[in-house]
């Protein structure tokens, strides 16, 4: 059985949607800032440290908003979510929510080991590989928003445009980063 989400005219419904949308925008912003920083494509107006500090803030806030979004979705009894559904995907709620749960765990794995105290103890390469989970996590966020969002269920073109723009904004810095890696490899060869 999969979860059917009936739009309801109450503040919890608005709050779960708005916190979800803010979390998704923050995730894409953190992704863009991280990629520009790592690609050393930050221009000359702002110092690289500024980009990194803002990236860290955006990353931390992403997880905070995801947490609020999950709690509000749980508090909204119309969603029928049990507490365990926030952490374990299951047939009871279906994959529309399941993708949200998977991306939540991926964001936890991206953000927690990045905290200075933990990161200092990890080999840089291992931390970096784990950190790159941010990219599939963001993709799954969009899949979840597309499948679970009331606006996409009701066929809103504006919401589709919003999701397409979010993805589009992320693709550009991913390309810049990949081109940078390819150029560096060629120069080394
Ligand atoms: C508080 C949380 C976070 C901290 C402290 C943090 C820290 C960092 C640091 C230090 C880098 C630079 C790595 C380098 O030296 O090149 C980086 C890169 C990056 N971060 Fe984060 N990050 C956090 C959260 C996030 C989140 C939530 C996302 C995505 C939604 C994200 C996505 C990225 C990406 C895509 C890169 C570029 C990786 C690469 O292209 O090699 N980060 N992050
Ligand atoms: C355990 C994890 C999660 C649960 C239980 C959950 C729950 C929900 C629910 C019930 C909805 C439907 C709200 C509605 O329209 O009635 C929704 C939509 C949404 N969620 Fe999540 N979510 C989770 C993770 C995430 C994550 C990690 C993000 C972003 C980083 C996110 C972003 C969104 C967005 C953008 C929407 C669409 C809002 C709309 O209806 O327009 N969710 N989520």
Contacts 24+ apart (CB under 8 A), 120-128: none
Q: Could you count the other beta carbons within 10 Å of the beta carbon of residue 15?
A: 17
Q: Could you count the other beta carbons within 10 Å of the beta carbon of residue 182?
A: 10
Q: Could you count the other beta carbons within 10 Å of the beta carbon of residue 14?
A: 13
Q: In tens digits, what is the pLDDT along the chain, a chain of 189 residues?
A: 445 555 555 889 999 999 999 999 999 999 999 999 999 888 888 999 999 999 999 999 999 999 999 999 999 988 899 999 999 999 988 999 999 999 999 999 999 999 999 999 999 999 999 999 999 999 999 999 999 988 777 778 999 999 999 999 999 999 999 999 999 999 998
pLDDT confidence of residue 77: 87
pLDDT confidence of residue 127: 97
Q: For residue 175, how far is its CA from the centre of ligand 2 (angstroms)? A: 27
Q: For residue 150, how far is its CA from the centre of ligand 2 (angstroms)? A: 10
Which residues, 6 or more positions from 6, have their beta carbon under 8 angstroms from its beta carbon? Answer: 78
CA distance 51 to 40: 10
Q: Does residue 105 belong to any structural domain of this protein?
A: yes
Query: Residue 115: left (phi > 0), alpha (psi -120 to 50), or beta?
Result: beta
Query: Do residues 79 and 96 make contact, with C-beta atoms less than 8 angstroms apart?
Result: no
Q: Does residue 138 belong to any structural domain of this protein?
A: yes
Q: Helix, strand, or coil here: 44? A: coil
- Nearest ligand atom owner, CA of 74: 2
Query: Do residues 106 and 141 make contact, with C-beta atoms less than 8 angstroms apart?
Result: no
> Which of 148, 160, 161, 170 for mutating ligand 2's site (highest number of atoms within 8 Å of CB)?
148
Looking from the CA of residue 18, the nearest atom of ligand 2 is 38
| Inter-helix orientation angle 11-38/157-188, to 10° | 20
Closest residue by Cα to atom 2, ligand 2, is 101
CA distance 188 to 170: 28
Query: Do residues 127 and 121 make contact, with C-beta atoms less than 8 angstroms apart?
Result: no
CA distance 122 to 138: 24
**Count of domains for the chain:** 1
Q: Is the CB of 173 under 6 A from ligand 1?
A: no
Predicted TM-score of the model (pTM): 0.92
Q: Is the CB of 19 under 6 A from ligand 2?
A: no
Longest dimension (CA), the chain: 61
- Nearest ligand atom owner, CA of 101: 2
pLDDT confidence of residue 1: 43
Q: Does residue 23 belong to any structural domain of this protein?
A: yes
Q: Does residue 5 belong to any structural domain of this protein?
A: no
Tokens of 90: 């299951």
> Which of 26, 34, 122 for mutating ligand 1's site (highest number of atoms within 8 Å of CB)?
34
> Which of 15, 31, 69 for mutating ligand 2's site (highest number of atoms within 8 Å of CB)?
69
Question: Could you list the residue range(s) of the whole structural domain that residue 68 is in?
Answer: 11-188
């Amino acid at each position: 059985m999969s979860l059917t989400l009936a739009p309801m005219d109450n503040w919890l419904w608005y709050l779960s949607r708005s916190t979800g949308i803010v979390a998704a925008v923050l995730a894409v912003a953190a992704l863009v800032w991280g990629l520009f920083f790592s690609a050393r494509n930050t221009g000359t107006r702002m110092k690289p440290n500024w980009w990194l500090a803002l990236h860290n803030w955006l990353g931390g806030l992403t997880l905070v908003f995801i947490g609020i979004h999950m709690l509000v979705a749980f508090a909204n009894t119309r969603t029928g979510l049990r507490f365990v559904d926030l952490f374990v995907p299951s047939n009871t709620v279906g994959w529309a929510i399941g993708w949200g749960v998977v991306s939540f765990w991926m964001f936890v794995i991206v953000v927690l080991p990045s905290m200075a105290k933990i990161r200092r103890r990890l080999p840089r390469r291992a931390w970096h590989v784990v950190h790159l989970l941010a990219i599939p996590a963001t993709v799954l966020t969009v899949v979840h928003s597309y499948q679970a969002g009331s606006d996409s269920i009701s066929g809103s073109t504006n919401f589709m445009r919003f999701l397409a723009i979010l993805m589009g904004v992320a693709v550009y810095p991913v390309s810049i980063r990949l081109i940078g890696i390819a150029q560096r490899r060629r120069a080394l060869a």
